[in-house]
Amino acid sequence: MRRSGFVMIMALVFMLVLAAMVMALAYYVTSETRGIGFQLDDTKTLYLAQAGVERAFREIRNDFLTTSQQGVADLRGSDTAGSVSIGNLARIRYIGEGTGLGGSATINANGDIAQLQRFDSNYTQTQIISVFLFVRASRATGGTGATLQVSYSTTGGFPQPGSTALTWALPNTTTLSVNSVDITADRTWTWPTIMNAAFALRAQRTAGNRNVNLDAIWLRVTYTVDTDTEPWFTGTYDVFPKTLGDGFIQSVSIADEARKVHLNYASQLLLRWLMQEHGVAAGTATTVATNIVNYRGAALTNPFDSIEELQRVTGMTQTIYNLIKDYVTVYSFINTNSYRPPSATTATSRAPVNINTAPREVLEAIFDPLSLGGSDPASLATDILDNRPFTCFYHFDTAVTSDFYDFVLSRGYLSPAERNRVLDNADASSLVPQAGAGAVNGVTTEFCYANTVYKIESVGKITVPGDITSDINLRVKTIVGNDGSRTFQNYTGDTTSTGYWKENYE
């Protein structure tokens, strides 16, 4: 009896243990299955976010290839080395300088040569579409006339085989007139070609016995620009959320990095005022801006590799970082042909801001340190937002309203000296802001008119049926170039370019 009772007890224990093992196994299988399901959902969400990135990149790439937005600029030269026997050489740099013929240089013999080089460097990240050689001149009346030849050389040697020259028998009048020749087909034009120290324009009288009154020689370049009216900026290129399979591309945004302030090249004043524009106290902003400049080093011995690295700077609180993190970058275009500040015999590296896409806070921070009237920086920012897009810094025709030069000259609330400071600060070239004016100082950074790098943010979403609290959202952030590149240098000379890709669940 006792033995049979013992057996029954052991059988019961065995059955209980077996049941527990079955339940544990069932739970394990269920958990593993659920875990695999979650992993699959996570993977799907990532793919959806990646699909959003690719859709945005296609829009950026299409904009790059179609060149639908264009600007036209007249490139002024600043260096007249190589000229022979010409008086008033400075007057061939600006169109219409002075009054009437008094604003012209005189060419009065076949041996006289006017040569111009070192041209505007405000557009060096744009795609060149066309190039024309221009001249504005007249001749003295009477005699056998005057024939003017204007040519260019990419090597500094004249004449250069393959370079189209403009030969112009000037009309018998003292009225200045304009002539031009299309040189686009001569070669594949790139900005390094035009920015090269050997590139030069030359004007010479080749026939006749009358004086030539040469007002200016210049290049007119047509190129691509990027503005806040384009679909990639406005978000009108597509509609989100977008269903894809059993999930969604929830949202996609595109922001150009050229609208931001570059941490490795911004002046202390620009950094300081950017913080003040976001409500940081003046004393704190001054200290932190100085610490940022000291952190990166005078010769960029410790450059910023990411905006997150700002949090390592002494005095940079989480509050200040959160205020400015969307307004700074380490990826925007670096112009290695800038001549500002004008110590200006050789080019330096600066990171311009796109005037056509920059937010108000960045625009005001650029103008704040220029010693303008109290409300002038805000007024200028408002006028820029109301009048953009701008297509160039300078155009000789005052009827053209999309150049920043004439825009500034028409701001009645700015004094002549203030206009000079604004123009000088916005110009990457080595010229003074206005013809005949003295050099001022480019204290923050200049403007540009096109982008090269964009930040894309894309959110993929999976909805779990019957449980909205379990929806999975994955945000992907990446940097892409308009030409297809995916890695970027953080400073001039950087040889360890790195890509940018971040993921986080929300």
Distance CA 117, CA 239 (A): 49
pLDDT for res 36 = 44
pLDDT for res 29 = 44
Distance CA 292, CA 284 (A): 12
pLDDT for res 344 = 53
Residues of the chain where predicted confidence (pLDDT) is lower than 50: 27, 29-38, 99-101
Show contacts of 170-175: CB within 8 Å, 24+ apart: 170/137, 170/138, 170/139, 170/145, 170/146, 170/208, 170/210, 170/212, 171/138, 171/139, 172/139, 172/141, 172/142, 172/145, 173/138, 173/139, 173/141, 174/101, 174/138, 174/139, 174/140, 174/141, 174/213, 175/138
Burial grade of 186 (CB within 10 A; 0-12, 13-18, 19 or more): middle
pLDDT for res 93 = 79
479-489 confidence digits (pLDDT tens): 999 988 888 88
Distance CA 370, CA 258 (A): 21
* Domains of the chain in sequence order: 65-69+227-448 (no CATH), 71-224 (2.60.120.260)
Distance CA 403, CA 392 (A): 5
Token couple for 336? 């290695």
pLDDT for res 231 = 95
pLDDT for res 153 = 98
pLDDT for res 101 = 45
What separation in angstroms does the CA of 406 have from each of 177, 269, 342, 429? 21, 26, 22, 17
pLDDT for res 463 = 84
pTM: 0.88
DSSP 227: -
pLDDT for res 261 = 98
Distance CA 69, CA 225 (A): 5
